[in-house]
Amino acid sequence: MDNRNIILIGFMGSGKTTLGKWLANAWGTEFCDTDERIERKEGRTIQTIFQEEGEAYFRALETKTLQELLAEGTRAVISVGGGLPVKQENRELLCRLGICVYLRTTKQELMRRLENDSTRPLLAGGQLAQKIDRLMAERKEIYETAADIILDTDGMQPADMQYALEGFIKQHVRAAE
């Protein structure tokens, strides 16, 4: 599709992994998920890493993962953890890695997708709506400014998003030339 990485950013539950796998399959490129890569390297789940080492340790692993992807010269569709773009250093690395696509999702849709989730430590322990509100207030602008492309995902099927994205990427590439 493009000779740079396509990076999917957005809140937990915005569908980064699902769309990432779909796009990689459609475009015949590799798919990489930073959370999966961290879990594989650490041999434990994100939840266990948070429990045993704390969030700061996990955040350092996210930065290390981006540095490794850059060094490896990966050409892929990459989905990154929802909190990864919060760190300025990571946003700089994302910029160098490729085109950032923000999957923007309404709170209502996020609630629906996350209400039965038990894998995300930052949402554990109830009061999901308040937790989404608090994190979204911190992150909304960060996602929007880190993004080269914003895709509103509510009601969209992967094929619709692929189509929209291909149009955006063509425009983006032309604008950058």
Give min distance, CB of 16 to ligand S3P, in A: 6
Return the residue of 39, 42, 70, 121 that touches ligand S3P, per CB under 6 A: 121
Return the residue of 15, 20, 81, 98 that touches ligand S3P, per CB under 6 A: 81
Residue type, 53: E
Give yes or no for residue 131 binding ligand S3P (CB under 6 A): no
C-beta atoms surrounding 9 within 10 Å: 26
Return the residue of 15, 83, 85, 98 that touches ligand S3P, per CB under 6 A: 83
The interface region with ligand S3P, picked from 23-31, 91-99, 120-128, 155-163 by CB under 6 A, is 120-128
Q: Residue 78 carries which DSSP code?
A: E
In the complex with ligand S3P, the residue whose CB is nearer, 44 or 172, is 44
Residues 6+ apart with CB under 8 A from 100: 7, 9, 85, 94, 146, 147, 148, 149
Return the residue of 26, 70, 122, 149 that touches ligand S3P, per CB under 6 A: 122
Query: What dihedral angle (degrees, nearest 10) is formed by the CA atoms of 117, 149, 146, 85?
Result: 30
In the complex with ligand S3P, the residue whose CB is nearer, 58 or 99, is 58
Helix and strand element counts for the chain (H, E): 8, 5
Report d(CA 93, CA 91) in Å as an integer: 5
In the complex with ligand S3P, the residue whose CB is nearer, 81 or 98, is 81
